Amino acid sequence: MSSEFINDYKFGRIKIENKTYTDDIIILGKNVKPKWRRLKGHNLAKDDLNEVIIYGPDLLIVGTGTYEKMQVPSNLSEKLNFKVISYPTKEAVEKYNQEIKENKRIAGAFHLTC
């Protein structure tokens, strides 16, 4: 059992504090918001992040899927009042676990499949 906040990620599932999720998720600090959907599927837009915007993180970490199919606009950070970084989901999980240990105000948006 992992001592990390996000315990495990495998294609199509993510385990957080020993609870498994099989739909894309948003995380606000340590608060998980399951069943995250985007208006245009694999294209991330500002309107897909309303809960994140209200939360007001310093950093949003985006997991773009195992094969990086989710597209993150290069100018998304400019449209928001916080930094946005994206990685394939496995790497995004590792980065989230690092950042959450430093008590930073972070959020995550994770695409769990492709």
Q: Write out pLDDT tens, residues 45-73.
A: 999 999 999 999 999 999 999 999 999 99
3-state secondary structure the chain: CCCCCEEEEECCEEEECCEEECCCEEEECCEEECCCCCCECCECCHHHHHHHHHHCCCEEEEECCCCCCCECCCCHHHHCCCEEEEECHHHHHHHHHHHHHCCCCEEEEECCCC
Domains and CATH numbers, the chain: 6-110 (3.40.1230.10)
pLDDT digits (tens, 9 = 90+) for 11-22: 999 999 999 999
Global pTM reads 0.95
How does the average pLDDT of the chain come out, rounded?
Answer: 95
The string of pLDDT tens digits covering residues 99-109 is 999 988 999 99
